[in-house]
Amino acid sequence: MPGNRTPTWAPDAGTGPDDALLAVRAGEGDEEAFAVLVRRHAPALVRLATRLVQDRTEAEDAVQEAFISAWRKLPEFRGQSSFGTWLYRIVTNRCLNILRTRKPQSQLEAASRISAPEHSVAPDRITEGRAAIEELHHALAGLSAEQRACWVLRELDEQPYAFIAETVGISEQAVRARVFRARRQLTDALGAWR
């Protein structure tokens, strides 16, 4: 059933109460506890940021800054949410800011951002599906920052609407509307390609 998605990654997956303890210690100045948290959460957050900004270097910078800002805010972090969810939110918002400041770019420029594996594939292997993925990549650059963030969290990170609403700080209805508009634009783009 298309509606019944299981998130491939939840911010708290497999960390148990350990994250909370480490976050408290880090808040009290234990930088080694913080290093454990950074190492543990970096891969998933870099993946999230890369999906959002479509540029590995910018994504890593965003995640790095998010962790540094987390270190500064940790003494006030009272565990209202889990450490993972908190970081997920910080990274998403940093990426949103990156997307907002990005100048509108042509789809050609957008294409050059992507270290696309398809370029290394022999021409006869470029199937219709592969071309559609490429086209989708380009079309994403045409979305507004807000649409793109909501769409990526929903479609690539497979998060529930309520979680996205909380992360981005808007209502669930607004998230649904943004995802709908993004889908509309993307299906149009794929349609144009057909």
Partner 1 sequence: MTTRIHPPDTPPPHDPDDECLPCGRLLSRVWSDWEEGAADSHAAACPDCTAAVAELERLETAVRGLRDDTEDASGYDPAPLTERVMDVVRLELRPGHPLPLGTPEEDMWVMEYAAARVLRAAAERVPGVRSGSCRITPERDMPGRVTVSLHILAPITAPSLPALADEVRRSVGESADRRLGLEITGIDVHVIGFADASDDSEKGFLP
Binding residues for partner 1, rule: CB under 8 A, are 1-4, 8-9, 16-18, 20-21, 24-25, 28-36, 38-40, 42-44, 46-47, 50-51, 60, 63-64, 67-68, 71-72, 75, 117, 129-130, 132-133, 135-137, 155-156, 158, 170-171, 173-174, 176-177, 180-181, 183-187, 190-191
Minimum CB distance to partner 1 smaller for 102 or for 132: 132
Q: How far is the CB of 147 from partner 1 (least distance, A)?
A: 10
Q: What sign does the dihedral 38-40-41-47 (CA atoms) show? A: positive
DSSP, collapsed to helix, strand or coil, labels residue 102 as: coil
Q: How far is the CB of 86 from partner 1 (least distance, A)?
A: 16
Minimum CB distance to partner 1 smaller for 24 or for 93: 24
Q: How far is the CB of 27 from partner 1 (least distance, A)?
A: 8
Residue pair 95/151 in contact (Cβ under 8 Å)? The answer is no
Residue 14 CB: number of other CB atoms within 10 A? 8
Count of residues making up the chain: 194
Distance CA 94, CA 46 (A): 12
**Of 101, 95, 66, which Cα lies nearest the Cα of 156?**
95
Q: How far is the CB of 88 from partner 1 (least distance, A)?
A: 13
Minimum CB distance to partner 1 smaller for 102 or for 170: 170
DSSP, collapsed to helix, strand or coil, labels residue 112 as: helix
